Chains A and B, each alone.
Chain A
């Protein structure tokens, strides 16, 4: 199940206030240069998007990413009781830290802009584990758990990468520095995690996995 970004519904780009000192002539030359004469208070505030507005595509991205990240925390919460693999536990701890911080950041961003952080709570986003997969993971122990965790988290992370790609392909999206940075950081971090988890899986015996979709095909693994 996958939710589409609401980008297509966006008709109006965020309002822009022009720089009084940056005339169209300046812009035509390729930039605006401001001599350092006037006192800061005499100059207008240049805000492409004020702190109180949110582009719908950006807001939707975060509203979807919050439950996506929250499921990752549900997964990492299973780790301490199920494996003593120290290297893996370190990896999981680092992922947990990253996802927890990002959830906090996204909630704050949405609340500041009057958006509901829980707008997509309970929905199954791209790459998220099905209830069957979660049950499968929770039921495993030891190396089988580690292998399964990595396989499902790779599936989960690749969903986040798809969500980030979709964001950048949406009209008007990621046009503010903070959203652009968030999405780019998510891409960079999760790509690295995937590489690490693939490396870890390569040291373990494979175990059966539950596919994302009901096994209509030949019962292929879920990642």
Chain B
């Protein structure tokens, strides 16, 4: 067997088409935006706001703030989770529990001092889950750290607290993992309500096998089944006995990934393929050698063909001019050589971990953000997530997280270029870098459509890059609120994932005018009519949407009717809008904009909805219900927006009977 040439040699002279096509004069962030030059300050920074009301700010307190060092990262606020009238705010030093009895004014209930970072939180029933990745994390929650490289006192992995008494949560379980837990995701099992799964994403180095048995490094070639890389851990939590939580699976969907295309546009089009094939056929007719590489036929350069031929002959102990038989043999062997090289390349470049996984159990889907890949997973069997598709993008440094739209027909992936500590929204930082990439999902495949980045330039003392967010439940539209660290929060509409557009924002000036003092929003999420922001250095912020040219009063009011009982950011649940006049009015406007209702229908339905709003007596309500049903029947069933309107009118009628 001849020694295989390195892939580099096989690919000699191949162009990299997509990279060459990348725009050289890409648009830059605006320096004239009101957010571009805000005055600095820890608690008195200048503010710019658009289409949002800033309702409250609750600063960090007690052991969760260092008054002498506002940027003390050991006390940075992190992720949020919500349950009933309670909000859980993660922190590198533990968890802060706030009452939302007055949702506009969070009130501190208690603080769990328990260091270990990142302290991302999730909540399910009476259990609170927390991610621990730092080597200072201790089983006993102590703050003294763990100086020994190997120690029985260290905990990196998942903590579980019983929060039956919010005043005094108790740690009831810990699950040690080989690479700690940078983030985690709760995954309910639709067939087993007594159990809960937790997907654990660890991105740190592998712990010593002396500290935790079974932990080991190694590439897929060296240690495919035993390596702590190339996997996520699946923890099963028996809800009645959380102390028995344990790792039940190492999900290895990161193995055997094809080499990621450098960008969506690098995937050759059918026309390009046809053209390349024609060129290859013509070259073959002239006696040239051709191969198929990454979906495209290519002509093997003469020098390389000669080199491989010489090697083949050398292996057979011959020298001199190759014979016709040698050429035939090479022709037969080339596909095999290419396949071997592609397999080798895939093994070498696969991601070693996921940063974050967002699950959407009602759709049986998950989005994994895994180093150089965005991955679509089938989670219909939650213990055994299965890869459906993967995407790559040369502009993405580090795939960070995913957010699906409500129908799971599109997904927003974020790129946390630099890990969140760097100023990456300066006018010099490209708009495709540290941004969101938007994809349509079609037939279980990802199709990239656009980028979205904070449109306002930020300063060099403001850490800024794409980070966590959630959907804002505007009916009929896909809207997301997203944290950009010191870039503030940005709300954008991505109903058309090819043309995302900002519709609201809030931003403060930097923590410090002269130094980069880490701060800004880690997470911003919608919860029951309010937007809550976890600010690394400035505590918790509360916002309400204000109607504007971008959002009608009806749209805002309809969003505010949505009620959730538990929100965990990495666990998406389907938004359902209760029937209401404002909901139907929102759908009516959207149907009107889509020209899916006639002028007469519009007039009738507008009047009927006004009557419905004013109906007080049972007789009035019955009468208007009949009119709503009649109006619904009159609508076309051939258009999505008129069908949605009709359905909402019928549902509204049902509430009036």
Residues in A lying within 8 Å of B, measured CB to CB: 13, 16, 18-19, 22, 27-36, 38, 40, 43-51, 85-88, 90-91, 94, 97-98, 101-102, 104-105, 108, 147, 164-165, 168-172, 174-178, 180-182, 184-185, 187-189, 191-192, 195-196, 198-206
Task: Report the bound CA distance from A161 to B19 in whole Å.
Answer: 27
Contact residues of B: prevailing secondary structure: loop
Q: Could you tell me if B74 and A87 are in contact, using CB atoms closer than 8 angstroms?
A: no
CB neighbours of B24 from chain A (8 A): 86
Q: Could you tell me if A204 and B8 are in contact, using CB atoms closer than 8 angstroms?
A: yes
* Closest-CB distance, B54 to chain A (whole angstroms): 22
**B647 interface residue per 8 A CB criterion:** no
* Closest-CB distance, B153 to chain A (whole angstroms): 12
Residue pairs across A and B with Cβ atoms less than 8 A apart, 13 shown, are A30-B141, A32-B112, A34-B111, A43-B62, A45-B67, A86-B24, A87-B16, A108-B516, A168-B205, A178-B518, A189-B397, A195-B372, A199-B345
**B199 interface residue per 8 A CB criterion:** no
CB neighbours of A205 from chain B (8 A): 8-9, 12-13
CB neighbours of B168 from chain A (8 A): 33, 35
Q: Could you tell me if A34 and B149 are in contact, using CB atoms closer than 8 angstroms?
A: no
CB neighbours of B222 from chain A (8 A): none
* Closest-CB distance, B22 to chain A (whole angstroms): 6
- Return the contact of B134 from the options A13, A105, A177 (Cβ within 8 A): A177
Q: Could you tell me if A33 and B111 are in contact, using CB atoms closer than 8 angstroms?
A: yes
**Nearest chain-A residue to B108 (Cβ)?**
A36
**Nearest chain-A residue to B8 (Cβ)?**
A206
Task: Report the bound CA distance from A76 to B349 in whole Å.
Answer: 23
Q: Which of B417-425, B559-567, B635-643 is near enough to bind chain A?
A: B417-425
Top-6 shortest CB links A-B: A87-B19, A185-B419, A36-B108, A31-B141, A46-B63, A30-B171
Task: Report the bound CA distance from A190 to B381 in whole Å.
Answer: 34
* Closest-CB distance, A73 to chain B (whole angstroms): 15
* Closest-CB distance, B102 to chain A (whole angstroms): 15
Question: Given A51-B69, A86-B24, A169-B149: A204 and B143 within 8 A (CB)?
Answer: no
Q: Which of B113-121, B327-335, B620-628 is near enough to bind chain A?
A: B113-121
CB neighbours of B417 from chain A (8 A): 94, 98
CB neighbours of A33 from chain B (8 A): 110-113, 167-169
Question: Given A16-B144, A87-B22: A178 and B73 within 8 A (CB)?
Answer: yes
**Nearest chain-A residue to B134 (Cβ)?**
A180
Q: Could you tell me if A34 and B135 are in contact, using CB atoms closer than 8 angstroms?
A: no
**B320 interface residue per 8 A CB criterion:** no
* Closest-CB distance, A173 to chain B (whole angstroms): 8
Q: Could you tell me if A185 and B92 are in contact, using CB atoms closer than 8 angstroms?
A: no
Contact with A along B1-42 (1 / 0, CB 8 A): 000001111011110101110101000000000000000000
**B467 interface residue per 8 A CB criterion:** no
Q: Could you tell me if A31 and B114 are in contact, using CB atoms closer than 8 angstroms?
A: yes
Q: Could you tell me if A98 and B205 are in contact, using CB atoms closer than 8 angstroms?
A: no
Task: Report the bound CA distance from A9 to B339 in whole Å.
Answer: 52
Task: Report the bound CA distance from A195 to B353 in whole Å.
Answer: 13
Interface centre among B372, B397, B516 (most CB of A within 10 A): B397
CB neighbours of B372 from chain A (8 A): 192, 195-196
CB neighbours of B68 from chain A (8 A): 45, 50-51
Interface centre among A36, A51, A164 (most CB of B within 10 A): A36
Task: Report the bound CA distance from A87 to B20 in whole Å.
Answer: 6
CB neighbours of B345 from chain A (8 A): 199, 202
CB neighbours of B143 from chain A (8 A): 16, 18-19, 22, 46, 48
Q: Could you tell me if A206 and B140 are in contact, using CB atoms closer than 8 angstroms?
A: no
**Residues in B137-159 with C-beta less than 8 Å from chain A:** 139-149
**Nearest chain-B residue to A38 (Cβ)?**
B62
**Residues in B164-178 with C-beta less than 8 Å from chain A:** 167-171
CB neighbours of B429 from chain A (8 A): 97
Q: Could you tell me if B61 and A40 are in contact, using CB atoms closer than 8 angstroms?
A: yes
Question: Given A33-B169, A101-B422, A188-B203: A195 and B349 within 8 A (CB)?
Answer: yes
